Chains A and B, each alone.
Chain A
Amino acid sequence: MVMKTERKIKSKKAQGMKSKISPASPFAKKAQMKIQQMSFMLLGVFLFFALVGMIIITVKFSGLKQDATDLRDRNAMLLATKLANSPEFSCGEAYGNQKTDCIDEDKVMMLKEKENIGKYENVGKNTNFWGVSNIEIRRIYPKYESITCTSTNYPNCDRIILIDKPISGFDHSNFVALCRKEKYKNEVVNKCEMARVIVWYEEVK
C-alpha cells in the first residue's frame, strides 16, 4: 500500500514537472518573455557597441586619408624643390659649370618621347617613378600663348608636359633655369631662360 501511494505521488510530481515546461503554462510564458527581453537587451548592447566601433573606425580612417594626402603634399613640395637635380632633368656641366636648379631642356624633350617616358610611368602601384601624378615645366620668359611643346614646334612653346594624368589634385612649383643648345650666327650657344617646374599630386579619396 505504502509503495503504491509513493508511486502515485511520484507520478503526480512527474505530471507537475511536465506541466511546468509546457508552453501553455503561465510560468513558461514568463520565462520566454524574460528570454526575449534579455535577447533584445543583448542585441541592443551589441548594436550599440558595433555602431560606436564603426563611428570610431570611420573617423580614424578619414584621418588616415588626410595623413596620406599630407604625405603626398610634402613629397610633392620637396620633390618640386629638388627635381631639377634629378639625373633625368639636371644640366650637369653641359651648359658651362655645374648649375643648381637648372633643367636641361634638350634632355627633357627627349625624356618626353613616348619610348623614354613610358619607362618612368606606372612603375609601381598607380604611381610613376617620382611618386607624383603630373609633372610640367612651364617657361616663364619669353612667353608664348600656353603652347604645349612637341618635337615640331620646339623651342617656340612654353609648356613641356612630361606626365599628364587627368586628376583632381594640388600642385607645388619651383623656379628653375631652363637651358638648351642653340645655333646663333654659325655658332653653338647655350641659351638659358626662366621657367617653373610644377608637380601635381592627387588627393586621397
Chain B
Amino acid sequence: MNQPDLRVTIGGLVFKNPVLTASGTFGYGQEFAPYVNLHHLGGVVVKGISLAPRRGNPPPRLVETTGGMLNAIGLENVGLDRFIAEKMPYLREIGTRVIVNILGDSLEEYQTLAQRLSEVEGVSALEVNISCPNVKKGGVAFGTDPAMAEAVTRAVCAGSNLPVIVKLSPNVTDITLIAKAVEAGGAQAVSLINTLLGMAIDIRSRRPRLANIVGGLSGPAIKPIALRMVWQVAQAVKIPVIGIGGITTTEDALEFLLAGATAIEIGTANFINPRASQEIVEGLARYVTDNRLAGISAVIGGLVLS
C-alpha cells in the first residue's frame, strides 16, 4: 500500500507532514530523541532564542491547573551564539525541518536575529514570538498592537530570506487584526495561539503560585479558544495558519486542520506523553488511509457550516 500523502506547503517550504512541535515544549530536539524518531515529524520548532542568553524568571515557574498548566519560565534560553554552536550541529542531522523561534526586546534585536539565523545552515524557517514586551516603547507587547506587530514582521522579513512565521498572542481583543497586520508586514504564515495569560493563588499562604504572579496557560484547557481563533484567522488572511493550543490527540489535530490550519504544533502534550507528536503523525496517516483521501490537504479548511 502507498504511504498516505501528508505533505503540506508553508511559505514555499514542503513539510513531510503537518505535525510540528511547539517552541518551549520540545527543548532543542535532542531532549526528545530517546522517545521520538525526530525525522518522522513534520518539523521541530526549537525553544525561543534571544540575542543574549536569558536567565528566565525566578521559581516557582510552573503550576498545574485543571486540564492545563500555567508557566512563567521567562524565556530562559542559551542565546544565539551558543544555540548556533551547540544546538544546530545536532539539529542539522535530525532529518526534518528546523524552525527557529526568535524573540527580542526591540525591532533591532529581532532583525539581527533574523539576519544571523539566515546564514546558518539547516534553519528552514523563523517563527517570531511577538508576545514579548517592546522595551524601547514602554514595555507594551509587540503582539498586542497591530502597528507594532506589523513593524516587527517587516524588520524580520527585511533581515532574512527565510520564510517568516509570526506567532500570535491570544491576549488581544481581536486576533484577526493582528493577523492581518503581520500579513501586511510580509509574514509567510501565522501560528497561533501562544499561551493565555492566567493566574493561580495558594489560599493557605494567600500568595500567587507563580513568582511572576501571572503566567501563560496551556494544555487541553485552552483548545476550544485556540480552535476558535484559528478558524477566525483562517477566514481573515490568505497566508497559511499553523494551529497551536492544547492539541493532545489526532482528533484534536484534525479539528484544527478542519478549521483551516495548514499545520499544527504540539505543545504541552509533549510533557505528558513525550511520544505525542509522533503518535499524531501516525494517527493522521491512518485517518487519510481509512477515509481514502488523496492526502491530508483534503482535510484542511474542510469545516462544513451548512
Whether chains A and B associate is no
- Chain B contacts to A: CB under 8 angstroms: none
